[in-house]
């Protein structure tokens, strides 16, 4: 594994290795055991979009690993004035040991990987959010013990989270059901991958997806960059909400997770959100541990 660009690139073994290391790093942190695997290394973090969790967890995680994180706002880099990503990649490769990038177009991340010669980590694109989904899988395994026999349900927009959860869930052996409006299906390459699995369901009906689910996930109806479509999307997504009626169809011990930020009373009711705050905020914490594992694997 040279980069973390999207879930489609990872094998089941690579995912399991990352999750095992993440569990170990979480244990070490909680028990005050130092783990300076990246002493003397630096990570550039390029942000073209807002972030709370990704920024703070990468920055703190790099510090805990003994390395140095550099926050690079795209608007202050020459990339924000049009310097090609291919040149940025070749320059940064000569100064630092890895790049985390959050941007719009997946191609920009793939180009960084192609032109640079240091590990590239996708910190969210319109297509994919692999760091989040590794943390999500870590959380599911932590609460449920294993992925065996579990059904994952995703309700909402066929966006970066849906794309990554479907692929990640199927790769680790869960059955996956996703409910999205027909006009907001996951990306074609994700659908092509998923259709190869008998245990994958795509439907317009959130109730079908939620039936007997062990874990239910959702995400905002309008992602970063889609603010102008918010009104239209609010109409299109009516009914695509995790609420008590949906929870009544899932298993009684089902987990509810959300990558955050959440829009209460849109994709999830405040009631369900607060009843499942325990797993939702453990999931947020696990960003730190999962990403530290990714950095150690790629840059250690
Ligand atoms: N879930 C997530 O990526 O959060 P941020 O946008 O705050 O980084
Ligand atoms: N789908 C959301 C995820 C935020 C973490 C977005 O792209 O804005």
Q: What is the pairing mode between strands 120-122 and 200-203?
A: unpaired
User: Could you tell me which of 248, 283, 246 has the C-alpha nearest to residue 262?
Assistant: 283
Q: Count of CB atoms within 10 A of residue 62's CB? A: 24
DSSP string, 150-164: -EEEEES--SHHHHH
DSSP string, 189-217: HHHHHHTT-TTEEEES-HHHHHTT-SEEE
State the Cα–Cα distance between residues 199 and 232, nearest whole angstrom: 32
**pLDDT at 182 (0 to 100):** 98
**Per-residue tokens: 134:** 């590794």
Q: How many Cα neighbours within 13 Å face the side chain of 198?
A: 0
User: Could you tell me which of 194, 227, 220 has the C-alpha nearest to residue 273?
Assistant: 220
Average pLDDT, integer, range 155-162? 98
**pLDDT at 60 (0 to 100):** 98
- The mean of the pLDDT values for the chain is 98
Q: Is the pLDDT of residue 32 over 90?
A: yes
Which atom number of ligand 1 is nearest to the Cα of residue 224?
6
List the CATH code of the domain at 132-283: 3.40.50.1370
Do 7-129+287-299 and 132-283 agree at the fold level? yes
Q: What is the pLDDT of residues 114-149, one digit of tens each?
A: 999 999 999 999 999 999 999 999 999 999 999 999
Judge whether 105 counts as a catalytic residue: no
* Catalytic residue (choose from 48, 64, 106, 132): 132
Judge whether 132 counts as a catalytic residue: yes
**pLDDT at 272 (0 to 100):** 98
Kindly report the protein residue whose alpha carbon is nearest to atom 3 of ligand 1. 54
Strand order of the β-sheet with 175-179 is 200-203, 175-179, 151-155, 215-218, 255-258
Task: Provide the residue ranges of all domains of the chain, joining segments of one domain with +.
Answer: 7-129+287-299, 132-283
Residue range 7-129+287-299 forms a domain whose CATH class is: alpha beta
Kindly report the protein residue whose alpha carbon is nearest to atom 2 of ligand 1. 53
Q: Does the pTM exceed 0.85?
A: yes
Residue 100 near residue 199, CB atoms below 8 Å: no
Query: DSSP 3-state assignment of 245?
Result: helix
Sign of the dihedral through C-alpha 95, 98, 103, 106: positive
Judge whether 153 counts as a catalytic residue: no
- For residue 172, give Cα distances in angstroms to 149, 207, 236: 11, 24, 31
State the Cα–Cα distance between residues 218 and 166, nearest whole angstrom: 12
Angle (CA) 128-256-217 rounded to 5° is 30
Which atom number of ligand 2 is nearest to the Cα of residue 51?
5
Residue 80 near residue 102, CB atoms below 8 Å: no
Place of tokens 């009843």: 275
State the Cα–Cα distance between residues 67 and 81, nearest whole angstrom: 29
Q: What is the pLDDT of residues 65-92, one digit of tens each?
A: 999 999 999 889 999 899 999 999 999 9
Reply yes or no: is the peptide bond before residue 261 cis, omega within 30 of 0: yes
**Per-residue tokens: 114:** 């192609």
State the Cα–Cα distance between residues 73 and 55, nearest whole angstrom: 11
**pLDDT at 74 (0 to 100):** 87
For ligand 2, is residue 160 a contact (CB within 6 Å)?
yes
Average pLDDT, integer, range 32-46? 98
Judge whether 199 counts as a catalytic residue: no
How many angstroms separate the alpha carbon of residue 211 from the centre of ligand 2?
25
**Per-residue tokens: 160:** 């970066």
């Amino acid at each position: 594994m040279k980069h973390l660009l999207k879930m489609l690139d990872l094998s089941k073994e690579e995912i399991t290795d990352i999750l095992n290391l993440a569990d170990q790093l979480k244990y070490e942190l909680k028990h005050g055991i130092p783990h300076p695997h990246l002493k003397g290394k630096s990570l550039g973090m390029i942000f073209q979009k807002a972030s709370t969790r990704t920024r703070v967890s990468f920055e703190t995680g790099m510090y805990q690993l003994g390395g140095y994180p550099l926050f690079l706002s795209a608007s202050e880099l020459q990339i924000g004035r049009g310097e090609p990503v291919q040149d940025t990649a070749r320059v940064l490769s000569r100064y630092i040991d890895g790049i985390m990038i959050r941007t719009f177009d997946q191609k920009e991340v793939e180009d960084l990987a192609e032109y640079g010669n240091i590990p590239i980590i996708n910190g969210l694109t319109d297509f994919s959010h692999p760091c989040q989904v590794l943390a999500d899988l870590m959380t599911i395994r932590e609460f449920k013990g294993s992925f065996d026999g579990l059904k994952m349900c995703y309700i909402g927009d066929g966006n970066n989270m849906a794309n990554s959860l479907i692929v990640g869930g199927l790769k680790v052996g869960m059955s996956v059901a996703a409910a999205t409006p027909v006009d907001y299906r996951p990306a074609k390459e994700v659908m092509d991958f998923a259709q190869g699995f008998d245990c994958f369901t795509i439907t317009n009906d959130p109730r079908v997806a939620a039936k007997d689910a062990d874990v239910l996930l959702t995400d905002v109806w309008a992602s970063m960059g889609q603010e102008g479509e918010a009104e239209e999307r609010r109409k299109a997504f009516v009914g695509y909400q995790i609420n008590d009626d949906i929870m009544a169809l899932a298993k009684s011990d089902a987990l509810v997770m959300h990558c955050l930020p959440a829009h209460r009373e849109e994709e999830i009711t405040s009631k369900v959100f607060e009843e499942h705050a325990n797993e939702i905020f453990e999931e947020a914490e696990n960003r730190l541990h999962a990403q530290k594992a990714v950095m150690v694997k790629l840059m250690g």
